[in-house]
């Protein structure tokens, strides 16, 4: 009972702090990029992340309340997408502080959008049966292979990639987890169109794509453990409404074209904003 009361009190305190912060900081005339920078660097975009990873270290239940409070205030919510849901917590778990400052900062401020490059056409449900390979070439890796069911691949700046880096090792070993730049000639994203003509998913072809050593998340050949962290965050995040509660209508990243739009245009509709129109 005491723990429940303490948690409720902490949640109320955090929401009071958030409300005061919104009163001082929400400005509907800011661009989406400028607003997301304020929100993300203050720890409100991804509050479950630790404080060294642009979060506030709160429980997921409190994070859902934070998203709802931003929404109710009439402010634009945090960047939606797989960066905030999957990549940021995985990098916070396994990445170096330099990688956190490089990748997570751009996620919480909406500067970069991410996709997930796990599934392969020939592997079925056996994720560890992947054949996409990465071959060492100096300080870089050359990646060749194919991924499928890549949601949001068409708007992604970066991808969470698992590839085989030690082909002679047992299949659950010899896999490495990379952050790969999707804006390079060796990466081709093709839509998988449904009968309706819509394309929620894509297939991704990697042909001599390059990724630097510095983009390995976790240790070399330890990608299976890192990938399981991503899958764990996917289960817990989707199970609690993570990645959607209070999220804005704006899509993050450089391709979607929302960053320079005014925040007032993409904030929740039908709500009376609490400040500034």
- CA distance to 161, 162, 189, 252, per residue, from 145 (Å): 11, 11, 12, 27
Pairing of strands 158-164, 175-181: antiparallel
Beta bridge partners of 203: 190
Indicate if 234 belongs to the active site: yes
Catalytic residue, chosen from 140, 194, 234, 260, is 234
Give the other-Cβ count within 10 Å of 276's Cβ.
14
From CA 157, how far away is CA 254, in angstroms rounded?
7
From CA 119, how far away is CA 148, in angstroms rounded?
6
**Torsion from C-alpha of 68, 106, 132, 152, nearest 10 degrees:** 50
* Catalytic residue list: 234
């Amino acid at each position: 009972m005491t723990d429940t009361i303490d948690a409720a009190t902490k949640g109320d305190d955090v929401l009071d702090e958030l409300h005061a912060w919104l009163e001082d900081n929400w400005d509907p005339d800011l661009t989406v990029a400028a607003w997301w920078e304020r929100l993300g660097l203050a720890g409100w975009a991804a509050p479950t992340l630790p404080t060294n990873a642009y979060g506030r270290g709160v429980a997921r239940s409190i994070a859902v309340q934070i998203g709802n409070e931003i929404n109710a205030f009439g402010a634009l919510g945090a960047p939606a997408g797989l960066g905030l849901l999957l990549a940021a917590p995985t990098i916070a778990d396994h990445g170096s502080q330099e990688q956190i400052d490089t990748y997570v900062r751009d996620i919480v401020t909406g500067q970069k959008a991410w996709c997930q490059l796990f599934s392969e056409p020939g592997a079925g449900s056996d994720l560890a049966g992947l054949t996409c390979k990465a071959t060492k070439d100096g300080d870089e890796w050359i990646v060749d292979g194919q991924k499928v069911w890549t949601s949001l691949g068409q708007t992604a700046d970066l991808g969470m990639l698992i590839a085989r880096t030690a082909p002679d090792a047992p299949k659950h070993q010899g896999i490495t987890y990379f952050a790969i730049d999707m804006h390079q000639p060796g990466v081709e994203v093709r839509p998988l169109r449904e009968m309706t003509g819509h394309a929620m998913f894509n297939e991704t072809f990697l042909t001599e794509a390059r990724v630097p050593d510095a983009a390995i998340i976790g240790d070399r050949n330890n990608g299976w453990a890192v990938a399981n962290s991503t899958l764990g965050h996917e289960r817990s995040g989707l199970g609690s409404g993570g990645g959607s509660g209070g999220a804005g209508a704006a899509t993050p990243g450089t391709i979607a074209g929302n960053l320079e739009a005014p925040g007032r245009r993409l904030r929740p509709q039908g709500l009376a904003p609490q400040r500034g129109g």
